[in-house]
Structure 1
Amino acid sequence: MTSNRNWRKDQQLTFYEIPKLKQSGMDMNTIQDEIDLEIVKRDVNHIQAEMRQLRNQQFLITTAGLTIFGVVTSWIIKADSPLSGTKDVRSVHFLLESLLLTILFILFLWSQQLKNLLATLAAYLRTRGWSYWEVDYKKYTKDNPYISQTRLVSIVFLVLGLLSFLFCFLNDISLPWDEGTKWGEAITVVIFVLYLIFICGMGFCGWWFSDKQVQQRWDGIIDKKNPKNQ
């Protein structure tokens, strides 16, 4: 047999054919490297497709945040008309603001989980040595300032939170102060401060997720299994 692939005209080795080759009595050692290469190609294609989907989901989540910001802001404006001159205006405004900050933070958490999955998959490719791009990109970003898609998402949600709170505050600053809304407004301020702290901490300081720890876990798993790296 001059070539490991001469037995197949289209030169495609599938997992379904491997058992058939074993049953036919073929010496699997002669095509083991070829089988391993096919498995690596499939793994890399699968992981890269998964990473593209995760990045697209991050974009969709950011778009959803922008849309919800516009919708809730319009609700705040519309609330002025039927409630104008009543003591409920400020209460409704700050209730909507609290709702908006909560929804934005939930979307941000979702985006962060997608980022963590992306970092985990990228670390696996680097550990296996299956992606020169991931290895070189990690080295480049280590000593050079950069703005990744994840940081851009964090900036967007940070700006949305700031704009929504400022809009609500400036919109209500001329309204009469009502004793019944003090607690509601105080709660909104607390929610806003916590929102800023967690957005900055998780988006820019790496709270609760460490690329180094993920890399070490993959190193330990792969070294323990001691597979053949392609």
Structure 2
Amino acid sequence: MSTFILPSNPNTYDAKNAFNDLHTIHWVQHNNKSVSIGDIIYIYESKPTQRIILKTQVIGRDIYSYHIDDSKYSTSGIDFSSKGPWLTLRLIENIDTCISLKDLHELGLKGNIQSLRRLDDDIANVLDFLIRDYSELTSILVTEGKKTKVYSTRYERSTKNRQAAILIHGLNCKVCGFNFEKKYGTLGHEFIEIHHKNPLYLNNTEINIDPRNDLVPLCSNCHRMIHRDKYNVLTVEYLKKILLA
């Protein structure tokens, strides 16, 4: 399986809403022969966003019969149904982590993203790590925890809660003190995992989250140790005692 990155111009096409509403999209293939079914394609939105916004998977190629009506997402009036053949891309997830062009350059990507590009395995692995960790996060008091059905049960989380927790608690791990920006420079800027003291999956109803009392910033290692046994989630205080013992 290979990993690619593909540019999307928001002045031409509203990719984010198209994928979130339709889940599966036809994307112009041109003469590309390197993309295979099962490959991962990250959608990079150009100015003014300039960051990765979506993770998709190729579930079809060499499609000549255009049957997905996404015409309302054309922001330029262009009729994309006349530009086959197409790839068929399925949405895997929205990317909330802010991975900018500058970050990609620091990871080793050269130049701008002006067409479909294959990512080196090292870059692809780091992206997967950053996105996988962030998907565990909760990134002011709002309701969260409402179950939604996708392919399996997931839990809605609030970006406002994450931001509020960072403002209150800072960006250092509350167990070991680790700071991503101090270690990784600009790549780690404002990166931290936010831990729910009471895991959302234990709640069958919507709950009100208080970022001051219910959330705490943790580094990836400490977060995983706390959740190592999902039926016996450790407290921050208990893990800190283990670390200091």
Judge same fold: TM > 0.5, yes or no: no
Hey, which of these two has a bigger chunk of strand by percent?
2
Hey, which of these two has a bigger chunk of helix by percent?
1
**Bigger RCO of structures 1 and 2 (CA < 8 A, at least 6 apart):** 1
TM-score, scaled relative to structure 1: 0.19
TM-score, scaled relative to structure 2: 0.18
